[in-house]
Amino acid sequence: MFLNDNLKIFSGSGNAELARAVCKYLEIPLGGAEVERFADGEKVIRVEDDVRGRDCFVVQSTCRPVDEHLVELLIYLDCLRRASAKRITAVVPYFGYARQDRKDEGRVPITAKLVANLITTAGADRVLAIDLHAAQVQGFFDIPVDHLSGELVLSRYFRDKKIGNLTIVSPDVGNMKIASRYADRLGGELAIVHKKRVSGTEAIAQEIIGDVKGRNIVMCDDIIATAGTICSAAKLVKDRGAEKIYIGATHGVFAGQALERLKEAPIDEIVVTDTIPLTQEARDCGDIKVLTVSSMLGEAIKRIHRNESVSNLFTDH
């Protein structure tokens, strides 16, 4: 693939493996940078490549430790701006803090907006992200945002499995639109679970609209954090007579009791993407399949660099 020396990709420590896979797809080397710490823990980043007048991309998932990775991204952006990069794109496969995107009670922050402001102020000219929890988070940025979705790779995987008698289940109302796009791609029927969130770590699936009895289920979500949502929904559809249950989610956070819950839930397969590296614990449990978004991200970066359409990516596949 022909890409000129103008394109530079750097990686934070949030997901270096994915950044390397993106560079492999693009057939370019990963940009060199040295990351050190002062004695008090402050980070200093020195970019080793000449970036003056170049089109630079920083790949950083702001996954755990979230604050650490976020600050590292901000320092990278500042560093590239001061080194006279021509254009800087923050590539954020997993955007931490996105779920606090509105004030649903008094005296709480809107962290998604705060982080959008920080990324812009630090020097990003554009953002490339995957499944930002709510599509309207794009509007929190006053710079262009290219918003990709893990549903491209996940739905292709489920389509190849040729699951018969299929119903796509949305585990809550918020995911309805995504579930209906899955149904369009996979050709199944649609059902939706009414979920009540009891606390940050507990969700109760209360009712299902749609038919799941005797059906094979693909349940899709943007994120599995504590797995409360997905496990409670899986139990409910199983109780209502579902056959096999497959779970597809873009971001595998797997926090708190997630792995224990998943082990106990009536789930036949869990599939996530590599926007977040799996923790050792999640790897050890051996039941989680990971699909890569590297070629989708690489293709988007190539198109942004060449000023070509990124939205075409959604129809090309």
Per CB under 6 A, 222 contacts ligand R5P:
yes
CB 32 within 8 A of CB 79: no
The interface with ligand R5P within residues 53-82 (CB under 6 A) comprises none
- Going by the DSSP 8-state scheme, the letter that residue 175 receives in this structure is G
Give the x/- contact pattern for ligand R5P in 169-208, rule: CB under 6 A: --xx-xx---------------------------x-----
Query: Angle at Cα 157 formed by Cα 154 and Cα 159, nearest 5°?
Result: 110
CB neighbour class for 314 (10 Å; exposed up to 12, middle 13-18, buried from 19): middle
Q: How far apart are CA 166 and CA 163, in angstroms?
A: 6
Which stretch, 61-69, 82-90, 209-217, 219-227, contacts ligand R5P (CB under 6 A)? 219-227
CB 153 within 8 A of CB 297: no
What would the two tokens of residue 192 be?
A: 């939706």
Shortest Å distance, C-beta 11 to ligand R5P: 26
Residue 195 a catalytic site member = yes
Q: What are phi and psi of 303, to 5 degrees?
A: -70, -40
Shortest Å distance, C-beta 178 to ligand R5P: 9
Which CB, 76 or 95, lies closer to ligand R5P?
95
Instruction: Compute the residue count for the chain.
Output: 317
- Choosing from 8, 161, 195, 238, which is the catalytic residue? 195
List 225, 262, 276, 300, residue binding ligand R5P (CB under 6 A): 225
Per CB under 6 A, 224 contacts ligand R5P:
yes
Applying CB under 6 A, which residues contact ligand R5P?
99, 171-172, 174-175, 203, 221-229
